Amino acid sequence: MPTRPLSQASPKLLAIQKDLQQLASMAGYLNSAIDMPQLRLSFTLYGRVLVADAGEGLAITPRLQAWADRVAVRLREDSSSAVLPPQIQISAPQPLPNGEGHYVIATLTFNSKVTEQGYQRVRNAILAAYQAAVNLREKKIWGDEEA
Mean pLDDT of the chain: 90
Residues of the chain above pLDDT 70, percent: 93
Q: Is the residue at 122 inside a domain?
A: yes
Rg (the chain; Cα; Å): 17
For 75, phi and psi rounded to 5 degrees?
-55, -50
Q: Is the residue at 6 inside a domain?
A: no
Q: Which residues pair with 109 in a beta bridge?
A: 44, 87
Residue 144 has pLDDT above 80, yes or no: no
Cα–Cα distance measured from residue 89 to residue 36, given in angstroms and rounded to the nearest whole number: 32
Q: Is the residue at 28 inside a domain?
A: yes
Q: Is the residue at 48 inside a domain?
A: yes
Cα–Cα distance measured from residue 18 to residue 32, given in angstroms and rounded to the nearest whole number: 10
CATH number at residue 92: 3.30.980
Q: Is the residue at 147 inside a domain?
A: no
Of the pLDDT bands very low, low, confident and very high (cuts 50, 70, 90), residue 1 is: very low
